[in-house]
Amino acid sequence: MNPTEDLSFLSLILNASLIVQLVMLILITMSIASWTVIFKKGSTLRGVRRDTERFERDFWSGGDLNTLLEAAQRNNRSSAVMERIFAGGMLEFSKAREIDAARRAMKATYQREMDILEANLPFLASVGSVSPYIGLFGTVWGIMHAFKGLANVQNATLAAVAPGIAEALVATAIGLFAAIPAVVAYNSNATEIDRLAIRFETFMEEFTNILQRQAAHR
C-alpha cells in the first residue's frame, strides 16, 4: 500500500497481509459464534427465571402437591427447571415416603439442570481471554511485515510505514471487539446462573422440610 491509498477500515482489511487476514477471519468467526451463544443463553436464562417465578407463585399459593406434580409432568418446556426438581423429589417421595431418597432425586435433577444452564459459558470465557492475544499476534506480524517492506525503500518516512501499521492494528481492534462482549456476557450469565442456583437450592431445602412434616403426620 502506498501513502496515498485509502485508509478506510474495509481497505485496511483487504490490503492486509495474508496472515493478518487469516487472523481477522478467525476473530470474526469467534465473534459471530460468541454473539450467537450470548443471544441464546440470554433467552434461555430469561425463560428459566420467568418459569421459576411462576412455579414459586403456584407452589406457595397452597395448592395440592399432587396437582402441581401432574402439571409439572405435563410441562415439557426446557425452562421449567424448578418444576423438574420438584417432580423428581415428589415422585421419589411418593414411592417409599423416604426423605433421603427424595433429596437425592432432587439433587440429581438439580445437577443435570445446572450442567445444561452452564453449557457454553467456558466458550465465552475462552473467547474473552484468547481473542486479544490472537489479535495481538496479527498486529505483531503485520508490523513486522510493514517494517520488512521499508527495507526496500530508500527514504523511510512515517507516511510510508503508517498504512502497514494501521492494517496491523485492525487485528487488535477486532480482537477486542470479540473479547469485550464475551467477557461482559460471561460475567452477567454466570451471576444470573448463581442466583438461580441459590433459588433452586433454597427451594429444595424448603420442599424437603414440607415432605418431612408430611411423613411425620402419616
Domain count, the chain: 1
> Is 3 part of a structural domain of the chain?
no
pLDDT of residue 4: 46
pLDDT of residue 31: 94
pLDDT of residue 45: 95
Distances (CA, A) of 56 to 22, 77, 97, 131: 51, 16, 23, 41
Q: How confident is the model at residue 187 (pLDDT cuts 50, 70, 90)?
A: very high
> Is 2 part of a structural domain of the chain?
no
pLDDT of residue 3: 45
Burial letters 89-118, b for 16+ CB under 10 A, else e: bbebbeeeeebeebbebbeebbeebeeebe
Selected residue with higher pLDDT from 16 and 1: 16
- The yes-or-no verdict on residue 75 having pLDDT over 90 is no
> Is 20 part of a structural domain of the chain?
yes
72 vs 74: CA distance, rounded Å: 5
> Is 178 part of a structural domain of the chain?
yes
- The yes-or-no verdict on residue 60 having pLDDT over 50 is yes
State the average pLDDT over residues 47-67. Answer: 89
Length of the chain: 218
The continuous run of DSSP H or E covering 128 comes out as: helix 121-150
The residue range of the domain holding 103 is: 9-216
159 vs 153: CA distance, rounded Å: 12
Average pLDDT, the chain: 86
> Is 209 part of a structural domain of the chain?
yes
> Is 112 part of a structural domain of the chain?
yes
The model's pTM: 0.82
32 vs 38: CA distance, rounded Å: 10
16 vs 163: CA distance, rounded Å: 9
**Residues 160/150, Cβ–Cβ less than 8 Å:** yes
102 vs 211: CA distance, rounded Å: 9
| 128 residue type, one letter | G
- The yes-or-no verdict on residue 69 having pLDDT over 70 is yes
Q: How confident is the model at residue 43 (pLDDT cuts 50, 70, 90)?
A: very high
> Is 119 part of a structural domain of the chain?
yes
Q: What percent of the chain has pLDDT over 90?
A: 51
> Is 4 part of a structural domain of the chain?
no
pLDDT of residue 1: 46
Selected residue with higher pLDDT from 195 and 77: 195
**Residues 44/66, Cβ–Cβ less than 8 Å:** no
Q: Could you tell me what percentage of the chain is helix, strand and coil, using 3-state DSSP and rounding each to the nearest 5?
A: 85, 0, 15
State the average pLDDT over residues 176-189. Answer: 95
